[in-house]
């Protein structure tokens, strides 16, 4: 019964919104994914980070704990992904990022909100903030074959994290009109990300289904195991433990496909992993959540 409740109450709403984006794409309705991505990454996400971290009562210690958990989860995932890809005989640039970087934004944030409430969302944002920085630096560098550290300083998310930590640590508050504007803009992120995920999944063309299933299972089951290991190493419990395990166990992020397309790293095969891991997560996520709720 608990699995069914999680499926319908927590996972169900997420997939319904994703389905709306998928139907929108299949109907050929206008949708500019580049504009939505730019809006989410440069406006909505930074505003949600400031709104959630500065106002949720999340201490610097709690933020640091979740940030460290995110770093460890991704470090272990990168090492495991490299070993798995080499064993499978696949190209590192194409398949390591899609195995190592989970969809902790589009799916992880709303899942944390529905499963653990506003406090869980704040913890998940701390995890996602570091995950996003790592994906756009380490992940993109693996796909591109080179590191560009300067791009980190041009990311609005970096400055949003600094501002949020500063506000939380100092006890200062934004003027009411500014805080409300940031709250409204931050509210755009979750629905836009889920609709964009559904739209992107409808547009992806998959290939090599057998290999995609193997990689997808490695992403989901491996991420779940890594989340448990990291949460245990750091002594996390309650919502913090649940958020780390859930975020680590998310399916592959759509950004992995975008990088594969951009750098010519077998994009159709990467797309297959993104799509199949997302579909398989519908079966696995309730069990994953039941183990930590």
15-29: per-residue pLDDT in tens? 888 899 899 989 988
pLDDT, residue 62, reads 82
Share of the chain above pLDDT 70, in %: 89
In this prediction, residues 141-157 reach a mean pLDDT of 73
In this prediction, residues 174-188 reach a mean pLDDT of 89
Q: Measured between alpha carbons, how far is 292 from 244 in angstroms, rounded to an integer?
A: 10
Domain boundaries, the chain: 2-290
Q: How many residues does the chain have?
A: 293
Compare 75 and 204 and report the one with higher pLDDT: 75
- Is the Cα torsion angle 213, 216, 221, 226 positive or negative in sign? positive
Matching residue, tokens 């992120």: 189
Helix then strand count (H, E) for the chain reads 16, 0
pLDDT band at 141 (very low <50, low <70, confident <90, very high): confident
pLDDT of 53 > 80? The answer is no
pLDDT band at 1 (very low <50, low <70, confident <90, very high): very low
Collapsed DSSP state (helix, strand, coil) of residue 56: coil
> Which tens digits make up the pLDDT trace of 188-234?
887 887 787 788 778 766 666 778 899 999 999 999 999 999 999 99
pLDDT of 291 > 60? The answer is yes
Q: Pick from 135, 130, 122, 123: which is nearest to 70 by CA?
A: 130
DSSP 8-state symbol, 289:
H
In this prediction, residues 126-147 reach a mean pLDDT of 82
pLDDT, residue 169, reads 67
Contact 225, 291 (CB under 8 A): no
> Which tens digits make up the pLDDT trace of 88-116?
988 898 899 999 999 988 788 888 888 88
Q: Measured between alpha carbons, how far is 123 from 234 in angstroms, rounded to an integer?
A: 15
- For domain 2-290, the CATH class is mainly alpha
Q: Measured between alpha carbons, how far is 40 from 49 in angstroms, rounded to an integer?
A: 12
Q: Pick from 112, 94, 161: which is nearest to 132 by CA?
A: 161
Compare 137 and 2 and report the one with higher pLDDT: 137
What are the respective helix, strand and coil percentages of the chain, to the nearest 5? 80, 0, 20
Q: Which of 58-72, 154-168, 243-257 has the least mean pLDDT?
A: 154-168
pLDDT of 268 > 70? The answer is yes
Compare 162 and 179 and report the one with higher pLDDT: 179
> Which tens digits make up the pLDDT trace of 231-262?
999 999 999 999 999 999 999 987 787 778 77
pLDDT, residue 70, reads 96
In this prediction, residues 8-13 reach a mean pLDDT of 73
pLDDT band at 159 (very low <50, low <70, confident <90, very high): confident
Structure tokens given for 195: 């609709």
């Amino acid at each position: 019964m608990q699995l069914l409740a999680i499926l319908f109450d927590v996972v169900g709403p997420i997939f319904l919104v994703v389905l709306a984006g998928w139907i929108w794409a299949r109907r050929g309705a206008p949708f500019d994914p580049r504009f939505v991505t730019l809006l989410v990454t440069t406006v909505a996400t930074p505003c949600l980070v400031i709104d959630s971290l500065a106002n949720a009562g999340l201490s610097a210690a709690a933020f640091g704990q979740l940030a460290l958990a995110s770093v460890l989860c991704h470090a272990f995932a990168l090492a495991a992904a490299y070993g798995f890809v080499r064993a499978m005989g696949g190209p590192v640039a194409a398949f390591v990022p899609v195995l190592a970087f989970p969809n902790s934004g589009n799916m992880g944030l709303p899942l944390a909100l529905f499963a653990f409430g506003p406090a869980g969302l704040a913890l998940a944002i701390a995890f996602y903030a570091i995950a996003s920085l790592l994906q756009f630096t380490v992940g993109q560098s693996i796909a591109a074959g080179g590191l560009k550290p300067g791009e980190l300083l041009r990311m609005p998310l970096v400055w949003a994290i600094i501002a949020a930590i500063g506000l939380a640590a100092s006890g200062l508050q934004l003027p009411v009109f500014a805080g409300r504007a940031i709250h409204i803009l931050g509210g755009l992120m979750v629905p836009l990300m889920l609709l964009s995920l559904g739209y992107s999944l409808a547009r992806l063309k998959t290939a090599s289904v057998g290999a995609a299933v193997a990689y997808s299972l490695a992403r989901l089951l491996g991420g779940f195991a890594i989340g448990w290991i990291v949460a245990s190493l750091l002594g996390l419990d309650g919502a913090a433990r649940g958020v780390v395990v859930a975020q680590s166990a998310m399916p592959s992020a759509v950004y992995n496909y975008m990088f594969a397309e951009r750098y010519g790293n077998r994009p159709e095969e990467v797309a297959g992993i993104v799509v199949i891991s997302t579909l398989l997560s519908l079966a696995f996520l309730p069990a994953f959540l039941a183990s930590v709720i």
